[in-house]
Amino acid sequence: MITFVKPKPCMGTVAKGEFFDVHDSRNEKEQAHEMIERLAPSQVSAVVGLLQAMLDPVARAIANAPIDDEPVTPEEEQAMPNPASG
């Protein structure tokens, strides 16, 4: 079953009464292109930054890395630079 949703009015990127098929992946790239074409230049810049972060494998690995919750050993603490000395 395909579900159609009406975009929120605050998006400002769709014509009145226009619906997007959110489950049809064949058209998702086309819809993305159309929406990008409707954005103001400052909004395009923000979207480009988001896409770069999503596509950067290092940024993705950092974002998905587990939190280091192990205690710092005395050896590790000695190896860290002292911010007060430099």
Per-residue pLDDT tens digits for 37-77: 999 999 999 999 999 988 999 988 888 899 988 999 999 99
Q: How far apart are CA 85 and CA 68, in angstroms?
A: 26
State residue 21's pLDDT score.
52
Give the rounded percent of residues in the chain with a pLDDT score beyond 90: 41
State residue 63's pLDDT score.
84
Using the structure block, give the residue that is written with the tokens 């074409």: 37
Query: Looking at this protein, which amino acid is placed at residue 18?
Result: E
Which value, in Å, is the radius of gyration of the alpha carbons in the chain?
A: 22
* pTM, entire model: 0.42
